[in-house]
Structure 1
Amino acid sequence: MASKGNPQTKSDVKKLPVESLTIDPDGDLVLIFTDDSQNKCWWTLEKTEFGLINQSHFEKIFSVSAKNKAKSRDARAREVRILVSSKCMSMASPVFKAMLNRDNFREGHDLSKGKAEVPLPEDNFPAFKILLDIIHYRGREVPKAVDIDIITHIAILADKYQLIQPVQPFADLWLVELRKSLPTFFTPNVVLWLSISWVFKFPIEFKQMTQIMQKGRDGCLGSHDPGDTLEGLPVPSRLFGKSVYNIPLYSYTHKFQVILEEHREKTVSEASSVVTTLIEKYLKSVQPICSSTFSGNSHINREKQHACDCLMLGSLQNRVATQSVFGNAYFKPIDVFTRAASCSVEEILTYVRGTHPMALCDNFVPANPTAKLPSAPAPVLAPTRTSVFGAYPLPPPFSHGVKESIIEQIDAIEARIVGLNLEDFQ
């Protein structure tokens, strides 16, 4: 046994069981893999009770240190040696073509003497086996369907070894079934789908995944210790700034979040201004905004109009200052939008849409609830009055039409969250 602090000798290293496979009986290249695929994939999706992944939960799934990787390789791991054709590998992959050139690397020099071995311990064996079957024209061996884990590994390898062109027809076939399990809310699988859709140029899925991210919360990809690494997922360089193979996870997520956060901040600002703009109007208005007629006495009318404005202002301010914004979440008064980072964009839009402004007119001047129903008789229009919300006949609409206006504005904001276009990153 090697002493602590000293390098291990060959006898200290536990030998793995060896399995040999043949793809090409006349092959001249042996690819060597360490297959521990029976272990749980590090990115396997786990749902919380409400279908959302919070930051600590995300970090728990994605924090993959070297120590954790070593522990994951248990007794089920094996060494797999596959005999393949160097000519097929070189024709399909520019990376292997360069690697097997006798003037570039040792593997190429060995191959010129008859046969070479290439260890690929970090590459996923089941995914690479599928790629080898494709490259060697063994179409019947290629599965007709794959799961999200396998296609993610295939995307990583296809991008790494520049094998996208031969794999693309099969990826299109696999997508038909995989589409049925597309995420509809943010989970770690969204990040995997982002990578898959980028590598294989699936514009619809790319747009859908980035739309989900735009609706997420600040830091939806997590905040991580730069010491932890994530085996790189291929993504647009304009999103993350550079190719990402075994780079710190923080660097991986930060570049993309800059773009997402720009969209998010704009959406949150627009949503918050829907209510805050109304509050500012009521606070700064010198004349009554309410123009309802309560009485023939102008003095009484003015007092009740002011009272109506005060009730509207109070109900709007109360919505912003509430202490139970989302379920049991606690927010200090006038702190909803300043602490929006802890809420998803979707939650904020839902919250603002749920604003219930109250007007004194709703009690003293009954609204006509059937005015908009197609089957209702045409109402007799009273004299038209004008407020900051436009002209309307008396009696005024419920809450002076403010509730309806808020819903329309929030719906319009949400309709603009459409995700990113794949072609913009080509």
Structure 2
Amino acid sequence: MTVVYLELDADGDLLLILGRGRDSILEDMSDNEEVNPELAMSAYEKAVEQEAGAMVDDTMYSEDDFSEDFLADEVKPAKRVQETHMLVSSKHLMTASPVFMAMFRKGHFTEGSQLESGKAEVTLDENPPAAFKILMDILHTNTRKVPRTVDLDTLTDLALLVDKYQLLESVEPFADRWLSGLIGRFSDDDKGDIWQFHRCLCISWVFRLSRRNGLKEFANYVAIRSKCEVNTSTEYDLPTPGPLLDHIEGCRQRVISTVLSHLDDLVQIYLYKKPRRKIICRGRYARDVTKRRKACDHMMCGSLIASLVENGLWPLPTAPFEGLSIQSVLKTATSTQLSAGCDIWKDSPDAWDHGYTTNHRNHGRTKELNRKLARLIEKVDKLGVLDVADFDVSSSRARKSR
């Protein structure tokens, strides 16, 4: 069996055995794919973090042995890596983590009893090796081996491990650097998978003590861009607390409902004649006044419904507004097209050149709608979400199942 051996502490008393990790690109290559030496070296270095003395297939190699020629010939079999063995100090782990303290303390679990004899082996199949290696370097004060930057996948793994083993205090000094610029990776027009935003929200929550503003930023991102129910849309069970997700989902539905209510106001006026007025238009003409006013109303109603149908908002959606985001609904609402007969006939000889008709395009309906939406957009830009301080630390590990 292929094994990667990592020695975090030469005098370590605990051997951690990690199963196959999802974070090695070597495992994703098919047998007929050509191996890029630079890519392969990068993956290998990520797995062992430049650790001298990697044991592969029971053969010892040093880092200098990994030339491009060697990689071209030898890296392909490394796709079959099954286990990563890490020799660590149980004292370092127990000092940093109450979870490890409970696991390895004498008389609690089998692992603790094994450590009494001087050595112990523990299998942690569910932990991704690369992210776990970073945490072990931090706990063993191998700070030079801790990467300055990590990608979103690794940062998500780190957040899950930090939450699982309650390691925030030890990892916090590195968190600001990892999180720096994270939100800048997404543009305002980003239409990427909402799952990315959920992961960023989770990351910000787990590292909340170091990046309070980051949590609010990503909560806004999720609320504004999500097209499904935020509190039920995560692909995996992330440790983001349920009350926070519920609040974000409440913001999403509330803003969308407000936008649709503004559109519904117009529908009520022109389609259902509310308030009860048979004729809405008040255009002034020398002749055929009633006929022209009715025609203007019909044109306003028809153009409104046609615009809503074209943009997928007719019939008007109802909660929970599946498939709609605040961003998309606001964009659609601000582009609603209205056409009034009076705007066409205002230059006719028998139109009176004064009053509501000639001074306000579409009888002022477009202007009124845009004014309401502008106020709403301003609020959305400052969308309020629950502050981190509103949640107890323990709630991140007690998210209710749905």
TM-score by length of structure 1 reads 0.67
Tell me the residue number matched to 1:234.
239
The one-letter code matched in structure 2 to 1:272 is L
**Secondary structure class of the residue paired with 2:180:** helix
Could you tell me how far apart the structure 1 residues matched to 2:163 and 2:26 are? Answer: 23
Residue 416 in 1 paired to residue 386 in 2? no
1:6-28 deviation digits (Å, cap 9, x = unpaired): xxxxxxxxxx3233322122222
Could you tell me how far apart the structure 2 residues matched to 1:18 and 1:204 are? Answer: 42
- May I ask how many residue pairs the two structures share in their alignment? 326
Q: Give the deviation of 1:207 after TM superposition.
A: 2.8
**Cα distance change on mapping 1:179 and 1:303 into 2, 3 Å:** closer
Could you tell me how far apart the structure 2 residues matched to 1:223 and 1:153 are? Answer: 19
Residue 76 in 1 paired to residue 103 in 2? no
Tell me the residue number matched to 1:142.
146
Tell whether the 8 Å contact from 1:294 to 1:364 is kept in structure 2 after alignment. Answer: no
- Per mean C-alpha deviation after superposition, the further-off stretch among 98-107 and 23-32 is 23-32
Q: Give the deviation of 1:404 after TM superposition.
A: 1.7
Q: Give the deviation of 1:198 after TM superposition.
A: 0.7
Q: Give the deviation of 1:181 after TM superposition.
A: 1.8
Residue 196 in 1 paired to residue 196 in 2? no
1:145-200 deviation digits (Å, cap 9, x = unpaired): 11111111111111111101110111101122534324644512112111101100
Q: Give the deviation of 1:140 after TM superposition.
A: 0.8
**Secondary structure class of the residue paired with 2:6:** strand
**Secondary structure class of the residue paired with 2:238:** coil
Could you tell me how far apart the structure 2 residues matched to 1:32 and 1:206 are? Answer: 34
Tell me the residue number matched to 2:219.
210
Aligned alpha-carbon RMSD (Å): 3.2
1:185-219 deviation digits (Å, cap 9, x = unpaired): 45121121111011001343333333333232235
Tell whether the 8 Å contact from 2:248 to 2:385 is kept in structure 1 after alignment. Answer: no
TM-score by length of structure 2 reads 0.71
Tell me the residue number matched to 1:290.
281
Could you tell me how far apart the structure 2 residues matched to 1:82 and 1:28 are? Answer: 11
Q: Give the deviation of 1:78 after TM superposition.
A: 3.3
> Where do 5+ consecutive residues of structure 1 fail to align?
1-15, 43-73, 240-255, 367-381, 386-391
Could you tell me how far apart the structure 2 residues matched to 1:41 and 1:335 are? Answer: 49
Tell me the residue number matched to 1:369.
none
1:29-70 deviation digits (Å, cap 9, x = unpaired): 22222243324899xxxxxxxxxxxxxxxxxxxxxxxxxxxx
**Secondary structure class of the residue paired with 1:137:** coil
Tell me the residue number matched to 2:50.
none
The one-letter code matched in structure 1 to 2:220 is Q
Residue 315 in 1 paired to residue 309 in 2? no
**Secondary structure class of the residue paired with 2:12:** coil
Tell whether the 8 Å contact from 2:4 to 2:83 is kept in structure 1 after alignment. Answer: yes
Which of residues 148, 165, 170 in structure 2 aligns to 1:166?
170
**Secondary structure class of the residue paired with 1:21:** strand
The one-letter code matched in structure 1 to 2:344 is N
Could you tell me how far apart the structure 2 residues matched to 1:157 and 1:41 are? Answer: 22
The one-letter code matched in structure 1 to 2:166 is Q
- Per mean C-alpha deviation after superposition, the further-off stretch among 265-274 and 214-223 is 214-223
Residue 97 in 1 paired to residue 104 in 2? no
**Secondary structure class of the residue paired with 1:416:** helix
> Where do 5+ consecutive residues of structure 2 fail to align?
29-77, 348-352, 393-402
Tell me the residue number matched to 1:54.
none
1:356-404 deviation digits (Å, cap 9, x = unpaired): 22222212325xxxxxxxxxxxxxxx97x5xxxxxx6x73211111112
- Per mean C-alpha deviation after superposition, the further-off stretch among 277-286 and 84-93 is 277-286
**Secondary structure class of the residue paired with 2:80:** coil
**Secondary structure class of the residue paired with 2:336:** coil
The one-letter code matched in structure 2 to 1:30 is L
Which of residues 118, 121, 126 in structure 2 aligns to 1:122?
126
Tell whether the 8 Å contact from 1:208 to 1:419 is kept in structure 2 after alignment. Answer: no
The one-letter code matched in structure 1 to 2:250 is E
Alignment of 1:8-157 (within 5 A): 16-36=1-21, 37-39=23-25, 75-157=79-161
Q: Give the deviation of 1:137 after TM superposition.
A: 1.2
More helix by share: 2
Tell whether the 8 Å contact from 1:203 to 1:421 is kept in structure 2 after alignment. Answer: no
